Amino acid sequence: MVEDDRSIAGSLIEGLTAEGYSVEHAATGVAALAATDYDMVLLDLGLPDIDGRDLFRQLRTRRAIPIIMLTARAEEFDRVLGLELGADDYVTKPFSFRELVARIRAVSRRTLESGADLTKHAMAGTAEVQTIFSLTVDRRTRRVHVDEEERLLTAKEFDLLAYLALDAGAVRTRTEILENVWDAHWYGPTKTVDAHIASLRKKLGHHEWIQAVRGVGFRLELTE
């Protein structure tokens, strides 16, 4: 938990511990970057030393784990920006403790289910290590290589690429992508798919590999 308000942090730590979670508290961005061995981040954007969005980007480059943003910024622009940056959820203050716990569980469930779905598809006929020309997707280790050079992706970016690779060349609608990579009951903006596609294209280094089909969705199509 990255939260500079110690009173808020104290109450949340107490409540989350009672729910069975092990919580490590970081009051600054520097302390957050020094932390290790965690499975999810609750990130307050209003920190005293580092802009929360910059910290988010740095955390994403280090580990592909779920991040829930906690912030007093309730405007739609800020919520959409948070999701487009790649946040797994966005909770505005003030929020109820029960809502936060529900969102933590939902994000955890989506992460587990997306991995389980990909594994199920892999067992149904797609190899754990799938190579398409110069692209290699390893579902077992969750690693991606382009021309044998590893590309570091976030958890969601990997799930998105792995989903498109299940049937390379086939067009996946935004709705299908949201239901299979995010959640079957996703109610957020569909533009979050476009934001993740843009980030994925940049990291792969081949914009043309993920093609947009206007008014429909996207397909993964590589050529030699």
Whether the domain at 6-95 and the domain at 112-220 fall into the same CATH topology: no
pLDDT at 113: 55
pLDDT at 70: 85
* Domain range list for the chain: 6-95, 112-220
pLDDT at 93: 81
pLDDT at 127: 57
Q: How far apart are CA 134 and CA 224, in angstroms?
A: 8
Element holding 175 (H helix, E strand): helix 174-177
Helix residue spans in 5-64 (DSSP H): 6-18, 29-34, 52-62
Q: How far apart are CA 89 and CA 60, in angstroms?
A: 14
pLDDT at 204: 94
- Name the 3-class secondary structure at 26: strand
pLDDT at 125: 45
pLDDT, averaged in runs of 10, over the chain (224 residues): 92 92 93 89 90 86 81 61 71 85 82 52 58 90 92 89 91 86 62 88 93 91 77
Q: How far apart are CA 136 and CA 28, in angstroms?
A: 38
pLDDT at 216: 87
pLDDT at 176: 85
Task: Specify the CATH class of 6-95 in words.
Answer: alpha beta
Domain range 112-220, CATH architecture: Orthogonal Bundle (1.10)
- Among positive and negative, which fits the CA dihedral 134, 172, 202, 107? negative
pLDDT at 184: 53
